[in-house]
Structure 1
Amino acid sequence: MRAFVFALMLVLPGLTVLPAASRAQEAVARFGEGDTPLLLRSTTDIAIIRPVIERFAQLRPELGITYEQWGSNALYARSRADCREGGTSADAVFSSAVQQMVALVNAACAHSHQSPATQALPESRRWRDELWGVTTEPAVIVYNRRALAGGAVPRSRFALLDAIRARPERFRGRIATYDIAASGLGYLFAYSDSLEATTFGALMESFARVDAVATCCSAEIIEGVAQGRFVVAYNVLGSYVANAARPEVGVILPEDYTLILSRSYMIPRGARQKAYAAELLDFLLSAEAQALLSEAGLITSTDAAETALAPSVRRFIPLSPALLVALDRNRRAILLKFWAETFREPSVP
């Protein structure tokens, strides 16, 4: 499997166009009764973000806010098409698939904005004054508390590997993660893992041996763990686990390294309400909104005293041109092929 990691490093440049995705949003909500329309497209579940958008609507009663919830790949495809073809653009786009957002900014699809709130962000959470990281969310390992307890709980990838090797039948068909062909977020986490050559190949080998399951959605994965259909789920976004509030589900911040994502916000070049979109951004970065986001599980402290994570094991995913490599056509094809081979359908005797 080391050969796979080396292959990823040797591919040629060239950005990919994602596979065709549905152009329809998954859900829609409206906030406020004002006459001035503001369209926000986001991958964040309406139920999670609702208190934050409701508060902004209270502060700006002149607005009638339409919030569209999208899957990450579909949102990227729609935003890219709007930018290229002059379609009906959102006034703001807010996505967890930050590599796709970097690609949109790189393609000159974004409007710039500067304010004290944006300038106060660390450099890893802002790029070219056109993309800003609003949240702080770790990628976690979750497990069923009834199936695993005490020393059996794998607190690192190395421990998970050891557990699978020692008792493969316990885990057969009962490890889940995102389907990276369908999930831009899942792809980002898998790509980030592929840069960690010490564990990635071995982990994929182990997943293949026990017929691990790749599926679409955070809610489905977490519910599967809660019900005991899955013993472990790998690389789940921690905010969704927090919001599920299932006591049967335990959460691990991996001690070898923990990926930390900052969900990103962009004002499209074709936005009709750029000023209000900028006001919404500044509000999201305000102390009031950050507290609301924290209550919603979208802000997780990375302070070592609270998380027990040493600074050396925190892997922040920066908003930078380096993420464009994740969308390289050849690199993506290699990773998707490797993933499909790992998560192939179990053989029938």
Structure 2
Amino acid sequence: MIRALVVLLALWPAAAPAQELSRDFGPDTAPETLLLRSTTDLAVLGPVVEAFLDTRPGLRVAFEQWGSNPLYRLQSEDCAAGRAGADLVISSAVHQMVDLVNEGCARPYRSALTAALPDALSWRDELWGVTREPAVMVYNRERVAPAQVPRSRFDLLDLLRPTESPFRGRVATYDIERSGLGFLFAFADSMEASTFGGLMESFGRSGAVATCCSAEIIDGVAEGRYLVAYNVLGSYALARARRDERLGVVAPEDYTLMLSRAAMIPRVAGNPRAAAQFVDFLLSPEGRQALEAALLIVRLEAEDGAALDRTAETPERPIPLSPALLIALDAHKRALFGARWRDAFPAAGGTAP
């Protein structure tokens, strides 16, 4: 199995050599350290880590922020080498996490809190869904008239259809070859939506932009370089919209993908006890409150000060943590999907940042 994983990794774009950001939380003199690697922005997950440490003065958390593809590669290499690295991994690219568990790279853990998770958010007592975040559309409130705001994928198709559309070249989404999360959302769309083929064709014909990451996309919309962004992670979009009136956020009314970031304790973790404590904290009422404050738990049915545009009938489509996600990593299917994507975005691609 490990050999198959190494072969698969050879098909992926080269990874960045190091994490994007790092920070230590807790006292330097703490007798214990938990090494946490995550794709979640340090500024977003940091307050949750601090809440966890409030009652654990003897623990220090070394936080490393990674891009999803480099993190997947590193964890795979650690696993194949039997090398101790992270004590806990949390990633938004949950298909990659399912693959790591499938390859025997995770350590089992079970508690009352993990056992209470629904089947879609727990797999083999080795992978747990710890957040609840929608995939949304983001638009510039100053440059998109209310009547033009896309409320669904069908609306987005209508905006891109005219030859002289002002939205030509000004719609953005993740580059699936640089973002594991972007690939996951696009693949989930391809399995879910009758509109997917039409969107790919319209993106290609209208000169839509595929780029690397949430911050770049959201910045582009706020600055007016893009008018609309598609399939952006809602937690980041809503957090930014709370402090930037230029941004509007839409939960697509035809369906809204819902992501739960996946947590895993690596098989060779040096401090699995502290990792298990953090998992339990994230699933506890106190942890859920901290995650909700950080907008890592978003309730579409609740009123929210971040001005999430939605309808009461918006159907949710959760992405389950299950072996079904391994289809997204099948080398043949991935190659075909990538070729279809490059037809729509010929200028996209490159190594993960």
* Same-fold status (TM-score > 0.5): yes
Mapping of residues 210-289 of structure 1, within 5 Å: 210-244=206-240, 245-289=243-287
Mapped contact 2:114–2:128 kept (Cα < 8 A): yes
Separation of aligned partners in 1, 2:312 and 2:336: 32
The match for 1:28 is 22
| Offset, 1:140 | 0.3
Separation of aligned partners in 1, 2:114 and 2:298: 19
> What letter matches 1:31 in structure 2?
F
> What letter matches 1:282 in structure 2?
D
What are the ranges of 5 or more consecutive residues in structure 2 without an aligned counterpart? 1-5, 305-309, 349-353
| Offset, 1:15 | 8.2
The match for 1:324 is 326
Is 1:16 equivalent to 2:8 in the alignment?
yes
Is 1:87 equivalent to 2:83 in the alignment?
yes
Separation of aligned partners in 2, 1:169 and 1:163: 7
The answer to which of 335-344 and 200-209 deviates more is 335-344
| Offset, 1:122 | 1.1
Question: Percent identical across equivalent pairs?
Answer: 55
Mapped contact 1:83–1:89 kept (Cα < 8 A): no
Classify the secondary structure of the residue corresponding to 2:229. strand
The answer to which of 16-25 and 334-343 deviates more is 16-25
Separation of aligned partners in 2, 1:331 and 1:309: 36
Q: From the superposition, tell whether residues 318 and 178 of structure 1 become closer, same or farther in structure 2 (CA, over 3 Å).
A: same
The answer to which of 107-116 and 300-309 deviates more is 300-309
The match for 2:299 is 301
The answer to which of 227-236 and 17-26 deviates more is 17-26
Q: From the superposition, tell whether residues 60 and 234 of structure 1 become closer, same or farther in structure 2 (CA, over 3 Å).
A: same
The match for 2:136 is 140
Residues 130-180 of structure 1, C-alpha deviation per residue, up to 9 Å, x if partnerless?
000000000001111112132211100011111211364301210100010
Classify the secondary structure of the residue corresponding to 1:38. strand
| Offset, 1:339 | 1.1
Classify the secondary structure of the residue corresponding to 2:161. helix
Mapped contact 1:211–1:345 kept (Cα < 8 A): no
Quick one: which of 102, 106, 112 aligns to 1:110? 106
Separation of aligned partners in 1, 2:200 and 2:244: 28
> What letter matches 2:235 in structure 1?
S
Mapped contact 1:23–1:78 kept (Cα < 8 A): no
Mapped contact 2:159–2:165 kept (Cα < 8 A): no
> What letter matches 1:224 in structure 2?
G
The match for 1:315 is 317
Q: From the superposition, tell whether residues 168 and 21 of structure 1 become closer, same or farther in structure 2 (CA, over 3 Å).
A: farther
Separation of aligned partners in 1, 2:62 and 2:295: 23
Is 1:204 equivalent to 2:200 in the alignment?
yes
TM score, norm. by length of structure 1: 0.91
> What letter matches 1:146 in structure 2?
E
Classify the secondary structure of the residue corresponding to 2:165. helix
| Offset, 1:260 | 0.3
Separation of aligned partners in 2, 1:23 and 1:284: 29
Classify the secondary structure of the residue corresponding to 1:166. coil
> What letter matches 2:261 in structure 1?
R
Mapped contact 1:139–1:260 kept (Cα < 8 A): yes
The match for 2:336 is 334
Is 1:57 equivalent to 2:53 in the alignment?
yes
> What letter matches 2:319 in structure 1?
I
What are the ranges of 5 or more consecutive residues in structure 1 without an aligned counterpart? 1-13
> What letter matches 2:333 in structure 1?
R
Separation of aligned partners in 2, 1:169 and 1:153: 14
For these two proteins, the number of residue pairs brought into alignment is 332
Residues 47-102 of structure 1, C-alpha deviation per residue, up to 9 Å, x if partnerless?
00111101212221111210000000000000000011122320000000000000
> What letter matches 1:331 in structure 2?
K
The match for 2:351 is none
Separation of aligned partners in 1, 2:53 and 2:190: 41
Residues 285-332 of structure 1, C-alpha deviation per residue, up to 9 Å, x if partnerless?
111111111111110114378753437x21100000000000000111
Separation of aligned partners in 2, 1:263 and 1:19: 22
The match for 2:96 is 100
Quick one: which of 175, 191, 196 aligns to 1:195? 191
Classify the secondary structure of the residue corresponding to 1:169. coil
The answer to which of 245-254 and 277-286 deviates more is 245-254
Runs of 4+ in 1 over 4 A off after TM superposition: 304-307
The match for 2:150 is 154
Is 1:69 equivalent to 2:65 in the alignment?
yes
Classify the secondary structure of the residue corresponding to 2:36. strand
Mapped contact 2:133–2:235 kept (Cα < 8 A): yes
